Structure 1
Amino acid sequence: MSTPREVLESAAQKFCSAFAEKKDIETIMSFFSTKHPISAVEYGDPVLAQFVGRPFEGNEGVKKYFGLLASTITYEGMHFSEYVVDTETRKVALKGKGHFIWSDTCESWNETFAYVLDFDEDLQLVRYQVWADSGAAYLARKGRLEEERKYHSEE
């Protein structure tokens, strides 16, 4: 039996709001299933950032992903839109936007990214997938983002 569209979208919105509001790791983890295996993955080449390009599995793995993210990047002005809901598979795809800052270098960028969130029968997350601008994150991590911007603005 499928879950109503509004219910799935609301579950996704609640998770996204908690993330945008920078809730603590325990609050973020409270959105994940305790009945089923869980995972988080941010797609890209693992050389770009320590939280990119590999799956983080299980409760400890997902906690590690969000911990690595919080220890390396800060963000502001995050908002989400364009929710697409599949009631049969209990998946929600959506677009997010925000301003990100690499903590060590203080270099920042504006980013549009995509999530696909998979929910269980209790509307708890079982899989969190992200497609983001890992190139900007890499350059910011290396302290080269501003240099590249300047170089390309002179062309």
Structure 2
Amino acid sequence: MSFRSQLLSSATSFCDAFAQNKDLDSILSHFSTTHQVSAIEHGEKAMAPFLGRPFEGLDGVRSYFDTIAALLSYENMEFSEFTVDAEAGRVACKGKAKFSWIQTKETWDETFAYMLDFDDEGKITDYQVWADSGAAYLARKGELDKVRKEES
């Protein structure tokens, strides 16, 4: 198997595990144990506890996913448009899902992007997310539905 094929297989396997709400140990099994790993969801730190700061090391990545699971639920997650850069050891893709802020029960449909960097064994070293932090913030505050009504 070429390195490009390995990267695509590793990325789709990780995304499938996340989309299927696999347990945290299954998710973390896709991360490197031979390199320093990190997770970051880009955005303004003040908008949500998982935004705008790097979660370093396997314990940090675990903390990121624990935080997400405590605050958000999602359904109908799917991924597409996988783009592999074998020279850089990186895969980018687009995802979409229906998210819900657990405490307020406010929901939104979201399209987001992943950038995954891999080690030589096809394990994730760096996990980056770009998502709709505005919708997450409003849902967290219980104001998303109110803003929607004002706009219609």
Q: TM-score range by the shorter chain?
A: over 0.9
- In structure 1, the residue matched to 2:148 is 149
Identity across matched positions, percent: 54
Structure 1 partner of 2:50: 51
Q: Report whether the alignment pairs 1:61 with 2:60.
A: yes
**Residues of 1 paired with 2:86 and 2:113: CA distance?**
19
User: 2:6 & 2:34 partners in 1: Cα distance?
Assistant: 19
Number of the residue aligned with 1:86: 85
Whole-Å separation in 2 of the counterparts to 1:139 and 1:94: 25
| Aligned counterpart, 2:113 | 114
Q: Once the 2 structures are TM-superposed, how far is the Cα of residue 5 of structure 1 from its aligned partner?
A: 2.1
Letter in 1 for 2:99: F
Which residue of the partner structure matches residue 32 of structure 1? 31
1:103 counterpart residue number: 102
Give the aligned residue type for 1:48: M
Q: Which runs of 5+ in 2 are unaligned?
A: none
TM-score, normalising length: structure 2: 0.98
Which string of whole-angstrom CA distances, capped at 9 and with x for unpartnered residues, describes residues 9-32 of structure 1? 111000000000011111111000
Distance 1:9 1:33 in 2: 16
C-alpha distance in structure 1 between counterparts of 2:9 and 2:120, whole Å: 14
Gaps of 5+ in 1: none
Deviations 1:22-59 (A, max 9, x none): 11111111000000000000000011100000000001
Measure the CA separation in 2 of the matches of 1:4 and 1:37. Answer: 21
Q: Which residue of 2 aligns with 1:16?
A: 15
Q: Give the secondary-structure state (helix, strand or coil) at the position aligned to 2:62.
A: helix
Q: CA RMSD in A?
A: 0.7
State the 1:7 CA deviation: 1.8
Q: How many corresponding residue pairs?
A: 151
What is the letter of the counterpart of residue 91 of structure 1?
R
Query: Offset of 1:4 from its aligned partner?
Result: 3.0
Q: 1:47 is paired with a residue of what secondary structure?
A: helix
